[in-house]
């Protein structure tokens, strides 16, 4: 194409007319070639000769009408329909239009690219990634029939049936004078006493105060801000929006899984409130999300930053009426680079003195507190310094093995616990794929989560793991963020993570909110260097176990295309004894919820019996609120601050929290 253009340019400059190439027929003309091959579209060579035995290239294929297909513009110059008229090229005047001037996009625009930018809409939309039309999308709207059914159920409910006795050092949900609709949802969930972060947050949040909260994963912080939002909105129904696309409350979270989980929690707690909550996230259901947002007023919107910005730029969502903003997992927002997006969202919200803002994070370090002070006025710091860390409810086991034995130990452990659910973490996508394939061909019920998996597939995998249809999920760190599987038995670090904080995030998938779990890590000669940094981060040593050659976990693995055999009871007993959850983990799990409520229903000891708090467990006093800001001091003179480094350093120290 470029060469032909140059020939025309040379001919125009020299005043000579470029020779015209014959278009019709194959006699003396050049067949239209494929993209790179030397053969034409119909299989012929560049000389225009007939295929072997005089057959037409597509003659062997049967047509719908039983006839034989003729090549376009054959050597006899006849049209394919055999009407005796020469075939006219596209363009209608006997000459084929250049590619850049074609107006008929029937083949390219509608057929060839119907899933691309031109014919299929937005870039990145994956065919088949949307939820079926007859199914509710994850985090989607509830039908009117279901809402009516819930209203009827609430009318039959007696609040007196939900009675909780006072307990020293514990706050009940009854102590906050919550609406009966919210209390009904709490009763259905089996919650009785507030966790520490809930007790700290609810009183101030119900009063519309700004909060910077610190709490570990699984501590119930999501319920804290959801109960506050739902309660405030039930008390002020006159402020509800009249049209769609203008939410009253906005929750921003870093991952799609976390967004969907928060929306599910909002539906569970607010089941009988009649308030409308929607999840907005990327990767799937763009048009359906847009329609649901605009159809009716939205009380609570939970969104990832990217999709929310898409909707605000497209004027699908109007954030000017938001009176409550929640930023969940702010530290992960910072780590994942979402802060610029969140800052752009802030510009579309009402000023910070015109809204209530709540920020929750696993840590309230200087970076997170600077964000809090930028986004809210005079926040209250609800900081839970729990005696139990995120790792206290998890039995941590480290196996020191050779790198070539890692898969052998993994497979044998799974084979000894075929009914147990586990997440296996790998550092790289290719390792994730290799482990997944190697387990699958040996009869393991396994799925894979990586950055290349479509969002709809990710949600299906997580639902299958929750329901027990799939036992093992092999995942990368990015794909595993935000996974919340109640009662997950094992987390296995096939590779030690690169960062100590990622280790805590990984093993935090088990042992959540009153349950215990087991985390197994493989330390080989290449990754053992990460152990000291992790020990320093979690402030406790990791007990390493060297596996001998006669250990049942080093049993030779079966060949490919086999199924799991019968469980070796003796080998399982030996491994379970080594990995048994101790009394300390059981007590720590029970202490997170005071030993009561549904959240503790999963806590069990090594024999499968329900966990019970030790009688000598200390009673902890409920923490008090602490104002996040010191009394304001006189601001120093900053006229020559850049010429006075000592004074500048003093000023920076004053800014430190």
509 close to 488: Cβ distance less than 8 angstroms: yes
pTM beyond 0.85: the answer is no
- In Å, how far from its chain's centre is CA 27? 60
**Cβ 544 vs Cβ 422: under 8 Å:** no
CATH 3.40.50.300 domain extents, the chain = 144-383, 394-600
Query: What residues does 52 pair with on adjacent strands?
Result: none
Q: Which pLDDT value is given to residue 417?
A: 93
The two tokens of residue 342 are 């969140």
Report pLDDT digits (tens) over 285-328.
889 999 999 999 999 999 999 999 999 999 999 999 999 999 99
Closest Cα to residue 382, out of 586, 228, 506?
228
- List of E strands, 139-229: 211-214
Question: How many residues would you count in the chain?
Answer: 657
Which conformational region is residue 171 in: left (phi greater than 0), alpha (psi within -120 to 50 degrees), or beta? beta
Measure the CA–CA gap between 256 and 449, rounded to whole angstroms: 13
Residue closest to 319 by CA, chosen among 291, 287, 354: 354
CATH number listed for the domain at residues 394-600: 3.40.50.300
Count each helix (H run) and each strand (E run) in the chain, helices first. Answer: 21, 15
Going by pLDDT thresholds of 50, 70 and 90, the confidence category of residue 212 is confident
Other beta carbons less than 10 A from residue 652's beta carbon: 9
Q: Are 537 and 504 in contact (CB under 8 A)?
A: yes
User: Of residues 590 and 551, which shows the higher confidence score?
Assistant: 551
Tell me the C-alpha distance between 532 and 527, whole Å: 11
Question: Mean of the pLDDT values across residues 440-469?
Answer: 85
Residues 96, 199: Cα–Cα separation, whole Å: 76
Region of residue 124 (phi > 0: left; psi between -120 and 50: alpha; otherwise: beta): left
Of 101-105, 121-125, 235-239, 560-564, minimum mean pLDDT range: 101-105
For 153-311, list the strands marked E by DSSP.
211-214, 249-252, 277-280, 300-303
Give backbone dihedrals phi and psi of 29, rounded to 5 degrees, phi first. -95, 170
**CB-side exposure of 247: number of CA atoms within 13 Å?**
29
Structure tokens at 124: 């990145």
Read off φ and ψ for residue 72, nearest 5 degrees. Answer: -65, 135
What pLDDT score does 477 carry?
78
Tell me which residue of 446, 387, 431 sits closest to 564, measured CA to CA. 446
* pLDDT > 50? residue 219: yes
- Cα torsion 376, 382, 388, 393 to 10°: value is -50
Q: What is the CATH code for 144-383? A: 3.40.50.300
First vs last C-alpha separation in the chain: 65
| pLDDT class of 482 with cuts at 50, 70, 90 | low
pLDDT tens digits, 88-125:
444 444 444 333 333 333 333 333 333 333 333 344 44
């Amino acid at each position: 194409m470029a060469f032909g253009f140059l020939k025309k340019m040379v001919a125009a400059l020299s005043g000579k007319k470029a020779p015209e190439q014959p278009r019709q027929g194959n006699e003396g003309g050049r067949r239209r070639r494929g993209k790179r091959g030397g053969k034409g579209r119909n299989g012929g060579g560049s000389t225009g000769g007939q295929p072997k035995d005089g057959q037409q290239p597509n003659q062997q294929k049967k047509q719908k009408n039983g006839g034989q297909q003729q090549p376009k513009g054959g050597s006899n110059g006849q049209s394919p329909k055999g009407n005796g008229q020469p075939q006219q090229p596209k363009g209608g005047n006997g000459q084929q239009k250049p590619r850049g001037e074609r107006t008929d996009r029937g083949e390219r625009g509608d057929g060839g690219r119907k899933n691309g930018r031109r014919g299929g809409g937005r870039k990145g939309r994956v065919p088949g990634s949307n939820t079926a039309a007859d199914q509710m999308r994850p985090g989607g709207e509830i039908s009117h029939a279901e809402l009516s059914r819930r209203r009827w159920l609430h009318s039959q409910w007696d609040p007196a049936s939900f009675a909780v006795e006072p307990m020293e050092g514990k706050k009940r949900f009854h102590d906050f004078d919550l609406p009966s609709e919210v209390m009904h949802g709490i009763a259905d969930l089996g919650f009785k006493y507030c966790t520490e972060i809930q007790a700290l947050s609810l009183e101030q949040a119900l009063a519309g105060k700004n909060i910077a909260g610190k709490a570990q994963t699984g501590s119930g912080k999501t319920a804290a801000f959801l109960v506050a939002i739902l309660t405030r909105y039930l008390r002020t129904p006159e402020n509800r929006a009249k049209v769609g696309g203008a939410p009253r409350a906005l929750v921003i979270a870093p991952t799609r899984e976390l967004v969907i989980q928060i929306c599910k929690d909002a539906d569970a707690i607010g089941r009988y409130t009649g308030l409308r909550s929607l999840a907005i996230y990327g990767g799937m259901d763009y048009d359906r999300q847009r329609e649901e947002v605009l159809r009716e007023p939205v009380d609570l919107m939970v969104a990832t930053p990217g999709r929310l910005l898409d909707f605000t730029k497209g004027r699908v969502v109007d954030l000017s009426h938001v009176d409550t903003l929640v930023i969940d997992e702010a530290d992960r927002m910072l780590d994942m680079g979402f802060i610029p997006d969140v800052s752009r969202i802030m510009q579309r919200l009402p000023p910070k003195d015109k809204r209530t803002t709540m920020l929750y994070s696993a840590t309230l370090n200087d970076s997170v507190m600077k964000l809090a002070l930028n986004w809210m006025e005079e926040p209250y710091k609800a900081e839970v310094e729990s005696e139990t860390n995120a790792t206290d409810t998890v039995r941590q086991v480290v196996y020191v093995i050779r790198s070539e034995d890692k898969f052998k130990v993994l497979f044998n452990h799974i084979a000894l616990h075929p009914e147990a659910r586990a997440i296996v973490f790998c550092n790289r996508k290719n390792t994730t794929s290799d482990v997944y394939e190697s387990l699958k061909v040996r009869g393991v019920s396994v799925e894979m989560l990586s950055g290349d998996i479509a969002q709809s597939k990710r949600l299906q995998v997580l639902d299958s793991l929750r329901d027990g249809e799939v036992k093992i999920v092999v995942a990368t760190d990015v794909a595993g963020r935000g996974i919340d599987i109640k009662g997950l038995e094992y987390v296995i670090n096939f590779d030690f993570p690169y960062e100590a904080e990622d280790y805590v995030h990984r093993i935090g998938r088990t042992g959540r909110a009153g349950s215990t779990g087991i985390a197994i890590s493989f330390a080989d000669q290449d990754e053992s260097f990460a152990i000291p940094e992790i020990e320093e981060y979690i402030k406790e040593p990791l007990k390493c176990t060297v596996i001998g050659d006669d250990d049942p976990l080093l049993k030779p693995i079966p060949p490919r295309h086999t199924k799991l055999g019968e469980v070796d009871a003796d080998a399982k007993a030996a491994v379970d004894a080594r990995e048994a959850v101790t009394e300390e983990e059981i007590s720590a799990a029970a202490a997170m919820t005071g030993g009561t409520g549904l959240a503790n229903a999963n806590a069990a000891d090594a024999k499968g019996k329900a966990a019970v708090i030790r009688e000598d467990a200390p009673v902890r006093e409920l923490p008090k609120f602490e104002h996040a800001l010191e009394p304001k001091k006189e601001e120093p003179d900053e006229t020559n601050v850049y010429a006075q480094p000592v004074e500048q350093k003093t000023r920076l120290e004053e800014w430190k929290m």
